[in-house]
Amino acid sequence: MGRYGEDLAARRLRESGMTILERNWRCAEGEIDLIARDGDAVVVCEVKTRRAAPFQHPMESLPPAKTARLRRLAARWLGERWIARYGNPPAGGVRLDLVGIVLPDRGAPVVQHVRGVG
């Protein structure tokens, strides 16, 4: 289910004009689902996929601790990948986005993309 949700999220980001730089980047501290480029900005994207049920909606599942961890991971990725390659931070900065996907019992998935969540 998670991989399917990440595929849908990557497609949504590409449709909005972004370029996917990496998927499932991992280090000892954790993982970033998707890293994309949106113009001059780097976008760290958390993907939450849920089945339609009375559980927490995916757009409500990014607590402050998770946001802080994603920011630390983004800083590490920038140092290891971006700055090592380009020498400078991205001109447009770094943004944290959330893509929430609800998989209904029937019909097409519902995909929501929120920019700048943290």
Tens digits of per-residue pLDDT, 8-61?
999 999 999 999 999 999 999 999 999 999 999 999 999 988 887 666 565 566
Ramachandran region of residue 24, left (φ > 0), alpha (ψ -120 to 50) or beta?
left
Q: Which residue has the higher pLDDT, 38 or 106?
A: 38
Q: What's residue 56's pLDDT?
A: 57
Q: What's residue 63's pLDDT?
A: 80
Q: What's residue 52's pLDDT?
A: 74
List, edge to edge, every strand of the sheet that includes 94-103. 19-27, 30-38, 41-51, 94-103, 110-114
Q: What is the pTM of this model?
A: 0.90
Q: What's residue 107's pLDDT?
A: 87
Tens digits of per-residue pLDDT, 55-92?
656 556 678 888 999 999 999 999 999 998 888 999 99
Write down all domains in the chain, each with its CATH number in brackets.
2-114 (3.40.1350.10)
Amino acid sitting at position 40 = D
Q: What's residue 54's pLDDT?
A: 63
Q: What percent of the chain has pLDDT over 70?
A: 92
| pLDDT band of 106, cuts 50, 70, 90 | confident
User: What ranges make up the beta strands (E) of 13-115?
Assistant: 19-27, 30-38, 41-51, 94-103, 110-114
